[in-house]
Structure 1
Amino acid sequence: MGKRANVDGDRLEFIPPQMPTLVEQPPQDEGWVHEAELDGYRTQIIIDKGGVRLYSKNGRDWTTKYWPIALAVELPCRAAILDGEVIVSGVRGAPDSPELEAAIWSEPNRLVFVAFDILHLDGRNLAPLPLLQRKQALRQLVGPGVGKIQYSEHFEGDALALFRAIEKIGPNGVISKRADSRYKGGPSKTWLKARCLRKPFSKF
């Protein structure tokens, strides 16, 4: 696997994911956007002339495990790299990792990919662009909806209030991202994770 996307050739390569730094509380200053952390498996979707491939956060090809998602990818583009999370909806609609593990082996049709970033689109390397520009491009590509490929909405404003609200409904916590930050694989100080104390450390 390559360390970066080959944006000039026909076949794109896996990009090591950007990983958040664990913090006690989400940042309160301006310039951050916030997303609910999903209790699933970090996944990268690559679309190019070779078809659709899905990779784990360590670069393993998991296309055969996630085959219903691969078959459902019908986005209006020739080539793209999407960063996101594979989840399965729980009984009350919240992501549920024990059900996810079971679904991978016995009910893969329940799997859903939630996209929160885009790194490449039709020959353009989007990683150097500010996060909010990438999110805008991603939303235009994926669109709103509840299909197998979904868009992860972000929130601005009172991060602590969002964090407390999320604690009550079940997900692990909040991922806070600098709105003007570029995408860079590996540990990051521009992505921060504040987890709910009643939850164990997640696989994100």
Structure 2
Amino acid sequence: MRLKFIKPQEPVLALKPPVSNGWLCEIKDDGCCTQIIFDWAGALTFTRMGIDRLKRHRPVVTAAEQLKAKSFIPGGEMIARPGGRPNFHAMYSRMAWNAELLAFVAFDILHKSGEDLRWRPAVERKAILRELIQPAEGIVQCSQHVEGGVEIYEAADRMSLKGIVSKRKVTPYRSGAKDAVWLKCWDIDFELIGIKRQPGEWTERLFARHVKNVGKAVIAKTDAIKNWLWT
């Protein structure tokens, strides 16, 4: 029987990074949440919602199949790096036209060589992941981490990166959970420059940062807040 997709654990948004050493903190890449499953029948890739993306990720899958383990399930992000920096929009172009320029950055591992690793503390899973993916370069990579989040968060901000994700060192992996043992912290200081409304469509907010358009987001708030935004 083949290994099955595991619903990912998700972080919650935090305004400030953790300051204690009980956390593993790493850069949040600008990509698409992806899970690779490798077993006796080969490798598959899935999105956060469990959608099969094998055809789009073929070069990454081929590289993953060379890792030295009988089976494994790492969680991570599929990224594109034009000019050396992860770029979410470029990723979709790479999947459509230049899939060989994609890379997979693993940040957790849920299964290896017949063992379910989800019960193990995050710090142990990280060590197993590093052992599997060495060196941490090339088309399949291993996300690096530090303990304590303030300095890495400030560094990410200086480099205009998306932000950081912090995980408590001693916690197991909780499939489908979304609680404060995983935190995501990034710069959310955007300017609201407009509201887009069309009959029968989602109402969207338009944002800018440093006078540059940075995109849009659906308004998923109460009717009172929606009314306040466009009055």
The answer to whether the superposition gives a TM-score over 0.5 is yes
Distance apart, 1:198 and its partner CA: 4.3
Match for residue 159 of structure 2? 169
1:111-165 CA deviation, whole Å, 9 max, x = no partner?
Answer: 00001111001110100000010010110011123211101011113x2222111
Match for residue 18 of structure 2? 27
1:67 aligns to 2:58 (yes or no): yes
Q: In structure 2, list runs of 5 or more residues that go unmatched.
A: 191-213, 216-231
Match for residue 160 of structure 1? 150
Corresponding pairs, count = 191
1:88-118 CA deviation, whole Å, 9 max, x = no partner?
Answer: 1121x11011111111101110000001111
Q: Report the TM-score when normalising by structure 1.
A: 0.89
Matches within 5 A, 1:1-204: 10-73=1-64, 74-91=66-83, 93-157=84-148, 159-186=149-176, 187-198=178-189
Distance apart, 1:59 and its partner CA: 0.3
In structure 2, C-alpha distance between the alignment counterparts of 1:80 and 1:130, rounded to whole Å: 17
Q: Report the TM-score when normalising by structure 2.
A: 0.79
In structure 2, C-alpha distance between the alignment counterparts of 1:12 and 1:24, rounded to whole Å: 37
In structure 2, C-alpha distance between the alignment counterparts of 1:98 and 1:30, rounded to whole Å: 34
In structure 1, C-alpha distance between the alignment counterparts of 2:165 and 2:172, rounded to whole Å: 16
The higher radius of gyration belongs to 2
Q: Supply the RMSD in Å over aligned alpha carbons.
A: 1.6
2:16 and 2:185 in contact (8 A); partners too: yes
1:113 and 1:150 in contact (8 A); partners too: yes
In structure 1, C-alpha distance between the alignment counterparts of 2:5 and 2:136, rounded to whole Å: 26
In structure 2, C-alpha distance between the alignment counterparts of 1:145 and 1:45, rounded to whole Å: 16
Q: Which amino acid aligns with 1:88?
A: A
Between 1:21-30 and 1:32-41, the stretch displaced more is 21-30
Name the structure with the higher strand share: 2
TM superposition outliers: structure 1 runs of 4+ over 3 Å: 198-201
